[in-house]
Structure 1
Amino acid sequence: MADSKIENVIGALALAFADTLQRDAQAKAPEPGPAASAITLIGHVPGLSIERLRRALSLSHSGTVRLVDRLVAEGLAARFSAPDDHRAVALRLTPLGETTCSAILAARQTGLASALAVLSSEELQEFGKLAAKLLRGLVSTEDHAYRVCRLCNYTACLDCPVEAELA
């Protein structure tokens, strides 16, 4: 039998973490909404397609195109022909976009570190192991992995539990 108090506390914790992530990441993004996630995803996967970005952000195609248009107009991203299909559009960050991506990830990291500061080193290591186990159990498709990891700092997660689960 599941313990509803534990589930409730974990649910509240998940929302508190999500709120912290969103607040801190969006403070460094050019606009509220999915821009921070789009920038970090494009930064992680240079050559990302608009369709993959659309699925990761759960946006309509037209909404994703408008978001990309704004990122391009702000000088944060650039469109280019996909190497494997010159009819398809691929995305990459500009130098300004890379700087913005770094600022988003640094703000995200600072907020999470602050939230986790109440744990001892040993507790933090154990919590990290449990969180990785939970992530491995939650993610089952590549699209879902992009969605879950849309604000991840990929350079900090060299042994990614999500990628390990999908492999």
Structure 2
Amino acid sequence: MHIEGGRALNVVGAWALSVADAVREAAERSTGMGGAGPAALVAVAAEPGMSVETLRRALGLTHPGAVRLVDRLEERGWVERGPGGGRTVALRPTAAGVTARDALLAARHEALAAQLERLGPDRERLAAAIEPLLLDQAADAGELRRLCRLCDRAACEPCPPWTHLEPDAVDG
């Protein structure tokens, strides 16, 4: 597939990196953690009781990497391990973790708002144009967890990609 308009591709690509950098920097400032730490906090708070394996897949980590990350979240007092189904360990946010998640999402919101501020009312049109692209990105719940790993899930209820998944794909 060849797409004409190298300039358009470059402009959109540069802007996407700018937005991603702004969100990453806000998340790191808010939590004092880099890498997958902020996304792990958001993911666990969004789905209390998720397993380390589910978290691992959502963040694209190895199992040992996910365990070490959970250790760091636990050391900060943001996540606790508990019994899950069978031999799995269920991860749950603590009250401090929910507070840290809320601060992180507020910082993310501010970073995104600053990136989109100049668009004014065109923000809604941009979001409407992007939404179908998001629907194509996630064929199952695992992919969706990865896509929405830093999302404020309460901000867009119902989540457009979740509502378009086949019922048996949501459990993945």
Deviations 1:124-161 (A, max 9, x none): 11101011111112222322111110000001011322
Q: Give me the TM-score of the superposition, normalised by structure 2.
A: 0.90
Shift of 1:105: 0.3
Shift of 1:53: 0.5
Q: Give me the TM-score of the superposition, normalised by structure 1.
A: 0.93
Name the counterpart of 1:36: 38
Q: Which piece of structure 1 moves more, 2-11 or 42-51?
A: 2-11
**Does residue 77 of structure 1 match 2:68?**
no
**Aligned counterparts of 1:45 and 1:150: Cα–Cα separation in 2:** 11
Name the counterpart of 1:95: 95
SS at match of 1:138: coil
The one-letter amino acid paired with 1:18 is A
SS at match of 1:87: coil
The one-letter amino acid paired with 1:59 is L
Name the counterpart of 2:169: none
Deviations 1:8-59 (A, max 9, x none): 2221121111111111011111422111000000010000110010011111
SS at match of 2:139: coil
Identity %: 37
| Structure 1 unaligned residues grouped into runs of 5+ | none
Question: Which residue, 10, 19, 32 being the options, matches 1:8?
Answer: 10
The 8 Å contact of residues 77 and 94 in structure 1, kept in 2 or not, is answered as yes
Pairwise CA RMSD of aligned residues?
Answer: 1.3
| Structure 2 unaligned residues grouped into runs of 5+ | 167-172
The one-letter amino acid paired with 2:19 is F
**Aligned counterparts of 2:120 and 2:41: Cα–Cα separation in 1:** 33
The count of aligned residue pairs is 164
SS at match of 2:57: helix
Deviations 1:85-135 (A, max 9, x none): 2421010110110100000000000010111000121x1111010111111
The 8 Å contact of residues 139 and 165 in structure 1, kept in 2 or not, is answered as no
The 8 Å contact of residues 41 and 53 in structure 1, kept in 2 or not, is answered as yes
Q: Which piece of structure 1 moves more, 32-41 or 140-149?
A: 140-149
